[in-house]
Structure 1
Amino acid sequence: MSEDSPLIRSLRTAVEAAPADVPLRLHLAEMLLGAGQPDAAVAEVAVALQHAPGDAQARTLMARAMGAPVPAPGTQPAPASPQDQPPVTVPASASAPEEPKGRAGFDWRAAADQVGDVIPPRFVEAPLTADGSGEPGDASAWDVDTPGTIRLADVGGMREVKERLEAAFLAPMRNPELRKLYGKSLRGGLLLYGPPGCGKTFIARAIAGELGAGFLSVSVNDVLDMWIGNSERNMHEIFRTARRQAPCVVFLDELDALGAKRSRTQHSGMRNTVNQLLTELDGIDSAANEGVFVLAATNAPWDVDIALRRPGRLDRTLLVLPPDAPARESILRYHLAERPVENIDLGKLVKVTDGLSGADLAHLCEAAAESALLDSARTGTVRMIGMKDLLGAAKQTVPSAEPWFASARNVAMYANEGGTYDDLVTYLKKKRKL
């Protein structure tokens, strides 16, 4: 009897109309087995066993369809040993009810292994994580960059910044005997603040390169999570990774978002995240953070929780200003190095770009190249980038740091308790902006 016989087609139609009718489904399986279709018979018997796990006829038919010895009447098939059958993980929602203890039951693990290629398990779902997201955690989420080749010598100008960094981090690291003599710990934190686009991240990477330390950059998106408790856990995992791979520089970008003032924070989850950051900065004990250097950057230090800036945490503050003349020359030279230029007077260009940030200078070079490109396209003759293009771009480039200085001026004048922003006051007076 072929599978396409009218009887089998009729039985299939009847089973589709009454899927819970076990005898009818077993009759169809018997017909399929007789027609030389054991795989199809196994599929039907497996569904029948889901509805009637203890049905003896279904078990016997399953054994016949799978080519296993048929047990004698009144006996139960012996379960296969673990060595004979590999373990198969079956979701709880897809497995049939277990037999009562003390009673020999059908070997569901062996059956699932045998029919796995015939019918896929039902209701198979990816295991949910603790946060309920259904997305397994990424083991490489906190990869630490290996020590880079960037050094402070690659940072143009900024002599005062380099001297402060040398005293805070580099000299103790290079002189372990003196460090031990003076009781200088390798723990510590430094807060870099200033207008945007002035190279705070680049300086942090240069420090990691000088120390020969790994670099772990952290932003608010890496920490904050919608699930309760996950933000604190992420913060803990970041510092635990850094401690394991010390020496390591942990760079907290946008600290005003990660460590905002708790008095202004309405959401309790954000306050808990700040509390966790404070705990990690202190370390579990006095030596927990040995070899972990915490650098943070922000454009708004006045929005950072005051507890983060007490001694022992981010206790040193460094103002990173728009690049000085030597730094501007280095930045311009870098961004023009791969472009076709001629007759460039860098000295003159440095003078007319006073007050521009590093990002502004990069945009200036891009705008000059765009001007030369459009001119070449219109005339059909390729020409080099000249001083006219650069000076024209400099004239059109508005210093992006000016809005920041407008806000910082109020802080320097009315909120400089304890001389926290004395270096900012000095700069504003020097530039006659105060």
Structure 2
Amino acid sequence: MSDSPLIDSLSAAVEARPDDLTLRLHLAELLVGAGRGAEAIGHAAQVLAREPGNETAQRLMTSALGGPAPAESPAREKPAAEKPKGDDTVDWAAMEQDLGDIVPPRFAKADDEPDPVRGHADRTFDVERSTITLADVGGMQEVKKRLEVSFLGPLRNPKLRSLFGKSLRGGLLLYGPPGCGKTFLARAVAGEMGAAFISLSITDVLNMWVGSSERNLHDLFQSARGHAPCVLFLDEIDALGHKRSQLNSSSMRTVVNQLLTELDGVDGNNDGVFVLAATNAPWDIDSALRRPGRLDRTLLVLPPDKAARAAILEYHLRDRPVAGIDLGKVADATENYSGADLAHVCETAAEFAMRDSIATGEIRMISQHDMLAAAREVRPSTDAWFSTARNVAMFANESGEYDDLAAYLKKRKLR
């Protein structure tokens, strides 16, 4: 209880009727007169939260804060043009911060709304350190040899690199049917090099605001330069670097132009930044991206060979109950299957065994029969891709960039 019964009575009345603004303003005026400005601020702020233009509440707030009280408004209301615009001596931003715990904000920010970016230092990207190496990649011996010559050899031999004038900058395009481990291979390269790894997808770049997509792309490359040596992996590069002649959107064409600028390193030194790009449709990529100094080296990532298929099958069965499975025979039955297809084969075989276990009430192991039955049910997803690739290799290979694909198709007798 205070020493003023009137203030105590009005406080109780306001507590009972919190939406009565007139009563609350009267209480605030008494509190200001009694020298209890801190309490008056809270009541005046509650009124301003509901009526931001309430002149009486503004006057009481100014008085409670120790500022000069503006003169009372005359009985005759001034015309709208003559109304005072407020006291410029009051720091309303500071007042809002001081009263944040007393009065909630009028407009709350959504829980999923990100904080605004304040300069380049405030931008964060997922920079990883990969623990996967090429030893964890089953098969793909030709791919590993090409990577050794392009990236890993020069990095391990700085003196030899200097002798031959080999730069630590460069780009390599991985292409092939989906599900064959292009992303896994990129992580393995980063782990083999002991380099940082940044994966870039279309969602990291594209933005509805003009110029923001280009800025995002620039910031990602700047982050890679700042963490050199770094592997910057551009997944689904055909989405970001599609042929400009086929784009109807001018904004997407400028994104392709920005990507070309970043690959050239015009605004920054790309030494130590290894750009690996992956796509299922290299024929849709803008030709400028594949000129020397950009993504000038191309590597075909084919479905896993027999040794790699056996290793992938073993990996996906390692934590499942199995008995009597001959991985070699299952690998023979899954020729041309991608890594994702092989994972699906193991999943389907597990479903067969689980279905019988539920029906009989007795748990049984995944058998060779389950694996072969699953291989017959799951068809290789690479067939559709090779049908399209066959047309490209036959009719759009004037430059010879798809010679390795043509040789493989000839070996498979698809030409």
Question: How far apart are 1:44 and its partner, in Å?
Answer: 5.3
Partners of 1:185 and 1:152 in 2: CA distance: 22
Are 2:185 and 1:196 equivalent residues in the alignment? no
The SS at the match of 1:143 is coil
1:398 to 369, 374, 379: 379
Structure 2 Cα separation of the partners of residues 113 and 223 of structure 1? 35
Q: RMSD between aligned alpha carbons?
A: 3.5
Deviation at 1:97, TM superposition (A): 3.3
Deviation at 1:371, TM superposition (A): 0.6
Pairing partner for 2:338 from 357, 361, 367: 357
Q: What is the TM-score normalised by the length of structure 1? A: 0.79
Q: Which residue does 2:80 correspond to in 1?
A: none
Residues 1:413 and 2:402 aligned together: no
Q: CA deviation at 1:198?
A: 0.4
Q: Distance in 1 between matches of 2:346 and 2:124?
A: 36
How far residue 210 of structure 1 moved from its aligned partner, in angstroms, is: 1.1
Equivalent residue for 1:267? 249
Helix, strand or coil at the partner of 1:419: coil
Q: 2:225 aligns with which of 238, 243, 248?
A: 243
Aligned to 1:212: 194
1:344 deviates by 1.2
Q: In the superposition, relative to structure 1, how do residues 170 and 45 fare at CA in structure 2: closer, same or farther (>3 Å)? A: closer
Q: How does 1:145-294 map to 2 (within 5 A)?
A: 145-146=128-129, 148-284=130-266, 288-294=269-275
Cα deviation, residue 158, structure 1: 1.2
What CA deviation, in whole Å up to 9, does each residue of 1:248-303 have, x standing for no partner? Answer: 00000001101000000011110010000000000027x70000000000000000
Shift of 1:120: 4.7
Aligned pairs for 1:84-99 (under 5 A) are 97-99=86-88
How far 1:113 sits from its partner (Å)?
A: 7.0
Aligned to 1:368: 349
C-alpha distance in 2 between matches for 1:209 and 1:364: 29
Partner of 1:142: 125
Shift of 1:377: 1.1
Unpaired runs of 5+ residues, structure 1, are 75-95, 100-104, 128-132
Distance 1:251 1:193, change over 3 A: same
Secondary structure (helix, strand or coil) at the match of 1:417 reads coil
Q: 1:315, 1:107 → 2: CA distance?
A: 59
CA distance in 1, matches of 2:91, 2:309: 77
Q: Distance in 2 between matches of 1:427 and 1:308?
A: 25
What letter is aligned with 2:163?
L
Query: 2: distance between equivalents of 1:158 and 1:320?
Result: 8
1:25 to 1:340, Cα distance in 2 relative to 1, 3 A: closer
How far apart in 1 are the matches of 2:126 and 2:18?
Answer: 57
Give me the whole-angstrom Cα distance separating, in 1, the residues matched to 2:212 and 2:239. Answer: 17
Which of 301, 324, 335 is residue 305 of structure 2 equivalent to? 324
TM-score norm. by structure 2 comes to 0.82
Alpha carbons 1:343, 1:387 under 8 Å: kept: yes
AA of the residue aligned to 2:269: A
The 2-side partners of 1:115 and 1:400 are apart by 62
1:150-185 deviations in Å (ceiling 9; x for gaps): 111111111111111111111111111110000000
CA distance in 1, matches of 2:399, 2:249: 30
Partner deviation per Cα, 1:364-397 (whole Å, 9 max, x = no partner)? 0111111111111111111111100000000111
Q: Using a 3 Å threshold, how does the CA distance of structure 1 residues 396 and 98 change in structure 2: closer, same or farther?
A: same
* CA distance in structure 1 between the partners assigned to 2:316 and 2:95 by the alignment: 68
Inter-partner Cα distance in structure 2 for 1:339 and 1:355: 24
Contact 2:44 2:57 (C-alpha < 8 Å) held by counterparts? no
Change (3 A) 1:32 1:339: same
Partner Cα distance (1:150, 1:235) in 2: 26
Cα distance change of structure 1 residues 30 and 361 upon mapping to structure 2, 3 Å threshold = closer
The whole-number CA distance in structure 1 between the counterparts of 2:93 and 2:327 is 77
1:313 aligns with 2:302: no
CA distance in 2, matches of 1:313, 1:14: 67
